[in-house]
Structure 1
Amino acid sequence: MSAPTLPVSSKQTQPPHHDGPPPEARREVFVRSVRRNLSAHGFLIGAVLCFAFFSWYPMVREFLLAFQKTEAGKTTWVGLDNLEYVFHDPAFWQAWRNTLLFTALALLLGFLVPFVIAIVINEFRHAQGFLRLLVYLPVMLPPVASVLLFKYFYDPGYGLFNGVLHFLHLPEQQWLQSTSTAMLSVVIAATWMNMGGATLIYLAALQGIPGELYEAAELDGAGLLSKIWHVTIPQTRLILSLLLLMQIIATMQVFTEPFLLTNGAGPEGSTTTVVYLIYQYAFNFNNYGGAAALGLVLLVLLAGFSAAYVRLSRDSES
């Protein structure tokens, strides 16, 4: 009789258990991940370096210059002297009055006109693509070319606008040479140059409004203006608010239009804006500390509007 065999333990027959893949496999996965993300990391590092060099460093440098003064190549810390000098400069308050006037007129035209044009285009059932291209065409033109075109239109001798007034037997105007019309002339040119983008945004918002709302308004006997007031504006209130803040931020930094149309200052300083005054401080007066101090004041003001814009953007996403 053969001896009985003992049962083999299951622990002795099973292979040893390893926690996760072997080190060679983990190393290979890591190398593949690095190679796959190498290009993305390279683009990200490049973008960060560009922002650091062209945006963050100038902002930090401007903040330091606002409290410094450079004379004969020697830089000294002067504290709040630059801000005090700027606040006591009569040109400072005139520049702010002109900037606020430009902002108010630009919002009156540049905020209302694109919205009306978008409503009109939205009513067309055909040729909307052509009309969108026609409205956006000024944005695609170089800004300098657009401004010089309007400078030709405003010419008091052979300009297009005075030619139209002469044809209609109306008195001709000194568009850029008069203190009463210089700022309005700059606003008209700026509005024509920049309204294309706002018009397309408004048009996209209008096309997202359900048609049932307009049908219900028509059944209630609402007319065109009533439908715009009770349906269109409430449905596009968020877009209107965001674009309003963006246009305030953009118009308070106006420089190109008055610089090219009226040589910056305009008749009796009527088109001198804050940004142009910064340009004068830095490049005409060689007062970089005053220019930095004025830029710091503008930065603080625009930061408040930017914070409101970010807050509205977050509310729209929630």
Structure 2
Amino acid sequence: MSRSQGETEYYSNDFDWEELRERVYNDPTHSHHLLPFTTTATTHHSADNDDSWNHFHARHSTGKFFKERRYLFKEFPELATPCEEGYSKVLEIGCGNGSTALPILRCKENVIVYACDCSTEALERSTENINASNVVSAKTRFHPFCWDFSTSPLPKWLLCDSCYETSLQKQNMFLTGFDCNERNITDITSLKESECCIGGVDFITLIFTLSAVPFDRMSMAVAECFSVLKPGGLLFFRDYGLYDMTMLRFEPEQRVGFREYKRSDGTRSYFFSLDCARDFFLGVGFIEVELDYCCVKSVNRRKQKTMHRVWVHGKFQKPIKHPANLGHG
């Protein structure tokens, strides 16, 4: 990660993940987290998940339950890079109460944030927080909408059918090592951004969102991210990592899958290994730019308790299709 040594130690390397893993394996109180999980014939209902998150955000509608994620620009400095022409477009998936959108809007004026969530309560909270801020033109640069990216195709105004099909053709040619000399691809490479859609986005933030999706729907969710991102665009990923303290607090009866748990309020949480995250993103065509565990030790001074937090930091890029180099894959 592109940080100074001091920042690296502070933000992501307070302890060694392998040592934490060994402690978990040697602690019999954590044995239920390591056991295989027998899959049962259950059906995941999207409406149930949406309702759980609606109730969650309704309960936390007052006060500062979430703080602005000011670490964003240390972890993902590309978000703060000035846009030379026009506006850069950011799609925030799982916007919650706006704790990611607000610092992005505050950081630079020529950025538009399209923010979605499956929870209408979350969208109301985020809109209220953005509108109450003193950020220049925040109201006109913030576009919230309801969307569950794990169950529904992307909205047509983000990327229309024509542009989507063209993107798939380009992607398939690139991934299969197509030789551009074998056919005329002028129509594909010269297609201009459609007037009926925004033509995709430059960046996607997927921060503590994928873990809330049932495991069997994660592949579709990541594929939707790939589809709406412009070639060369970046996806910024941060989510719960394997053996995070919150994982170790779950009781055996709260397991609903391997490394997958359900809280008492009905919301879900999955804990990613690096290999699992890599498989999801590379499996749909992303290029891995960065992927690592962030291991942060924090101390509750009042309770005199040390907490070991583990997050997965990832940065993935959609391949750039250069027609002259398609044959080299």
Q: After TM superposition, is the score higher than 0.5? A: no
Which one has a larger percent helix, Structure 1 or Structure 2?
1
- The TM-score with structure 2 as length reference comes to 0.26
Larger Rg: 1
- The TM-score with structure 1 as length reference comes to 0.27
Which one has a larger percent strand, Structure 1 or Structure 2?
2
